[in-house]
Structure 1
Amino acid sequence: MTFNLTVSPDFAPDHISGWYFFNTWLQRKLGVGIHLELYDSFDAQREDIRAEKFDLIYANPYDASMLVREMGFQAVVKPASKSDETIIAVNAESPFHTVEDLISGCRVATTDDPDVHTMGMIMLESADLDKNNTEIKQHSSYVVVAKNLLNGDADAGFFLKDAYDELSELIRSKMRVLVSSQISVVHHSLLVGPRMAEHIPAIQTALLTMHDDEKGKGVLESMDIETWEPMDSEQTEFMIDLIDTLID
């Protein structure tokens, strides 16, 4: 039997090869077939997830709620020292220097990354802004969000902090960060579905010792992950409760 793996579409394009290396490495460690399928769109991926196409998912915090509570997935590991934070940035020449400077009718560039968009909208509340008094335009990637800011087609943009940090130094030098979230307990995690549940102990053991393996360490570097940390049900439920609270 071949299992299916997918990855939340918010990773940097530079790490695409890293996930293919990871898939090959994990197959060899487990002795099972695993097919990797990557997506450009969160909506398209979520549709296939709901159709029960996948058994192993590196998921963003927003999707973790659906996967655990509705589909019986179990979180097994998370990247060490790597939380999901959201940044609101503007053009470096913008007259806006704080979130509170943003005004009604301002143009916001975002992506379909659900947890980043949600957090960005929450951070706009301090300026008394919401979806009713802003012009929100969704774009295909954080690079496109940055281009909109640099071209003057948007007044503010939402970024996953990791994605912002991985933009070129030249692009970042032309933008200014207004605010960054500091939640720290919200992060991506690797979840295993019911069909693959019997492999959870082997998966967790392999990943928690991955940095001790010469090839594994190289794969981690290509994914921009230092090491993995274990996740238990209590940690998972706490994160999901927090995300659900933010969304509500």
Structure 2
Amino acid sequence: MNMAVKFSIEPVTGQDFHYNLVGSIDAHASETLNTLYDIPAESHVLLDFSQVERVNSMGLSLLLKLFEIWESKRIKIEVQHLDRMISMLFKITGLGRFIKDGKAGPATPASTANPEPPRHIEAKIAATTSTPASTASDKLNFVASLQTGQQLTGWYLLNTYLQRRLKQAIHFEQANDVLNPNFTDLLFAKPFEACQMINNHGYIPVMRPITDTDEVVILTRADDDRALADYPNAIVATASKDSFVYLLGRFLCDENDLDSEQLQFDFSGNEIKALQMLIRKKADLVFMLKKAYDGLSSFSRNSVRLLDESRTEFAHHLFCVAPHLTGHISELSNVLGDMVQDEQGKQILVDIQMQGWQKPEEEAMAMLQMVYRRYAG
């Protein structure tokens, strides 16, 4: 690990339990943070984040665990000098109450700190006790929520690849707005969609894309030179209200002093239609996946301007299996994980715009589930 970002804790001279945090708070910070567990009960702890370069989902999980221990010991916790992105992460995960004196922006009212949540739970989906979509001897149904439209051919190729490696007939479909547990055996889903299927229907997360998080960009037209804060009452086009993109986009606006409650949202159904609305001047802003923005044609890229983007390293698409396929998890994990080892697998990964697959980290899954329950539960 680069020494410039290695995490350390520096006590502030003459101040009891006042610490400067330095570097990156991630999985490697665990041992260092453990030194703070022994702070006496009913103390007052102040953590300064001015020298923190980044906090990822693993780091947030470690901080949550530490803060829970401190609160059980009636320790007063304050944090200060967070940058805008770390402040946003704190607010999304419910840690915003610890921010001191509004140094990273005040603990904003619920109307802006907690925008109206996506409502997957309102979908009319059958109960988990329904008959499984298939048995191990039948054709499996594979449903995928694509990250970009250019991936579709690659996903059909992946379906064929899985059929050959698993020696199992598999039918592939692109996801519709509402996922049906009575139909879906294998699922590649957006973060909140996956959480909904995990929580409500017992689906099991098996793999996630390597180094691939769902980050969000906010775009305007190329000929519009206003800053994000200068779009009060703007019309915002985005694919879906039931989306992590919608949630993160609203947080980005609120962190730029643009009240997202005053925005007018037009849910286009997909990101290409949302982009077309912007270019045709039927919308002022667009929220979309950064990966989709990165894949735009040169014409589309030249027609828009990037106003802001998230750097949360927080949410992943997840490859899940239905609960009746528990016995196939190991085999499926091996097939996906080994794609980087053969030429055909590597080419399919290129087609679906992935570096490969890895097992989801327990801490990161717990963090995603916590956010899902807070905003969509």
Name the TM-score, length of structure 2 as normaliser.
Answer: 0.60
Identity %: 26
Between structure 1 and structure 2, the one with the greater Rg is: 2
3-state secondary structure, aligned to 2:211? coil
Which digits, 9 at most, give the CA deviation of each residue in 1:18-38, with x for residues without a partner?
111101111111111211111
Pick from 143, 161, 174 the counterpart of residue 290 of structure 2. 161
1:64 matched residue in structure 2: 194
Structure with a larger share of its residues in helix = 1
Pick from 219, 222, 229 the counterpart of residue 92 of structure 1. 222
1:4 matched residue in structure 2: 141
Letter aligned with residue 130 of structure 1: S
1:64 and 1:185 mapped to 2: Cα distance?
Answer: 14
Which digits, 9 at most, give the CA deviation of each residue in 1:202-248, with x for residues without a partner?
00011111110121111111111111111254432222213434557
3-state secondary structure, aligned to 2:201? coil
Greater shift, 156-165 or 118-127, is seen at 118-127
Which structure 1 residue ranges, 4+ long, deviate > 4 Å from structure 2? Answer: none
**Gap change, CA 1:184 and 1:228, over 3 Å in 2:** same
3-state secondary structure, aligned to 2:340? helix
3-state secondary structure, aligned to 1:70? helix
Letter aligned with residue 91 of structure 1: R
Contact 1:3 1:196 in 2 (8 A): no
Count of residues in correspondence between the two structures = 238
1:95 and 1:221 mapped to 2: Cα distance?
Answer: 36
Larger RCO, structures 1/2 (Cα 8 Å, 6+ apart): 1
3-state secondary structure, aligned to 1:4? strand
Pick from 201, 211, 220 the counterpart of residue 349 of structure 2. 220
Letter aligned with residue 111 of structure 1: A
1:32 aligns with 2:168: yes
Contact 1:7 1:58 in 2 (8 A): yes
1:174 matched residue in structure 2: 303
1:81 matched residue in structure 2: 211
1:190 matched residue in structure 2: 319
Deviation of 1:90 after TM superposition, in Å, equals 0.4
Which digits, 9 at most, give the CA deviation of each residue in 1:61-95, with x for residues without a partner?
11121111221111111111111001111001114
Give unmatched runs, 5+ long, in structure 1: none
Pick from 228, 231, 234 the counterpart of residue 106 of structure 1. 234
2:271 matched residue in structure 1: 142
Matches within 5 A, 1:36-47: 36-39=172-175, 41-42=176-177, 45-46=178-179
Name the TM-score, length of structure 1 as normaliser.
Answer: 0.89
3-state secondary structure, aligned to 1:84? coil
Deviation of 1:11 after TM superposition, in Å, equals 2.6
3-state secondary structure, aligned to 2:260? coil
Contact 1:78 1:230 in 2 (8 A): yes
Contact 1:5 1:36 in 2 (8 A): yes
3-state secondary structure, aligned to 2:218? strand
Give unmatched runs, 5+ long, in structure 2: 1-137
2:315 and 2:260 mapped to 1: Cα distance?
Answer: 23
Letter aligned with residue 110 of structure 1: T
Contact 2:340 2:356 in 1 (8 A): yes
